[in-house]
């Protein structure tokens, strides 16, 4: 097993608590937040795309077009420091202190990428599906992540909350994976075979720096 030399993170529910984002979408649709959340979870549980949730309440809903409408109405999708999970900055900083290359790589819009840059998280790489022109779970996305990491696939650790979008496709390219069990996908999705191939299974990012350090130390023993 290879040493970990780079660690890349998904965004939603890994770095950013998306409760606010989906809550404002419920408000935009005129749906109680609890109802929206319940339907959201049901869509995920039956293997649907989260975007199907919008179709339940408004058939024919065009998410990209509605994003533009919200922005024009002065209600753009947004998040800030207050929406970062509290374990994020300490984890990223600790990994960099170990001499690792740290990156953010997720399915996000250009606007979200701009916000992430403004947050100035302690990372070396920041890429999104918009700027990379590749969207998870496509292998092209993870091939780009390997290139940006500048290390062999087995020395790159990808941290995600989704077995379907994050963990499984990364594993297909030989990338080491860590499953973070938080957020809707982290609690609802299950695949014993994919989970068994994870290098780490986490309940918090606070655990990660020590686990990586121990793993790397074990590889040199």
Q: CATH homologous superfamily for 6-17+80-220?
A: HAD superfamily/HAD-like (3.40.50.1000)
**Alpha-carbon distance values, 127 to 9, 37, 45, 113, 204 (Å):** 10, 28, 28, 7, 23
Report d(CA 203, CA 194) in Å as an integer: 17
> 156 with 130: CB under 8 angstroms?
no
- Of the pLDDT bands very low, low, confident and very high (cuts 50, 70, 90), residue 221 is confident
Whole-prediction pTM value? Answer: 0.95
Question: Which string of DSSP letters, residue by residue, matches 160-220?
Answer: ES-IIIIIHHHHHTT-EEEEE--HHHHHH---HHHHHT-SEEES-GGGHHHHHHHHHHHHH
Residue 1 has pLDDT above 90, yes or no: no
Q: pLDDT tens for residues 170-182?
A: 999 999 999 999 9
State residue 200 phi and psi, 5-degree precision. -135, 150
In the chain, residues under CATH classification 3.40.50.1000 are 6-17+80-220
Report d(CA 36, CA 195) in Å as an integer: 28
Q: pLDDT tens for residues 117-142?
A: 999 999 999 999 999 999 999 999 99
């Amino acid at each position: 097993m290879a040493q970990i030399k780079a660690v890349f993170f998904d965004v939603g529910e890994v770095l950013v608590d998306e409760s606010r984002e989906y809550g404002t979408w419920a408000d935009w649709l005129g749906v109680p937040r609890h109802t929206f959340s319940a339907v959201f979870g049901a869509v995920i549980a039956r293997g649907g795309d989260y975007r199907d949730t919008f179709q339940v309440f408004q058939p024919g809903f065009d998410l990209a077009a509605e994003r533009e409408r919200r922005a024009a109405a002065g209600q753009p999708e947004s998040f800030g420091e207050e929406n970062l999970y509290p374990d994020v900055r300490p984890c990223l900083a600790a990994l960099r202190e170990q001499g690792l290359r740290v990156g953010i790589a997720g399915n996000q819009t250009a606007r979200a990428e701009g916000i992430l840059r403004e947050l100035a998280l302690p990372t070396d790489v920041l890429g999104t599906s918009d700027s990379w022109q590749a969207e998870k779970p496509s292998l092209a996305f993870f091939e780009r992540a390997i290139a940006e990491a500048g290390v062999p696939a087995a020395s790159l650790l990808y941290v995600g909350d989704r077995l379907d979008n994050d963990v499984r496709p990364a594993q297909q390219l030989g990338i080491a994976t860590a499953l973070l069990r938080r957020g809707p996908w982290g609690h609802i999705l299950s695949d014993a075979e994919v989970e068994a191939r994870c290098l780490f299974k986490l309940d918090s990012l606070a655990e990660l720096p020590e686990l990586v350090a121990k793993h790397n130390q074990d590889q040199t023993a």
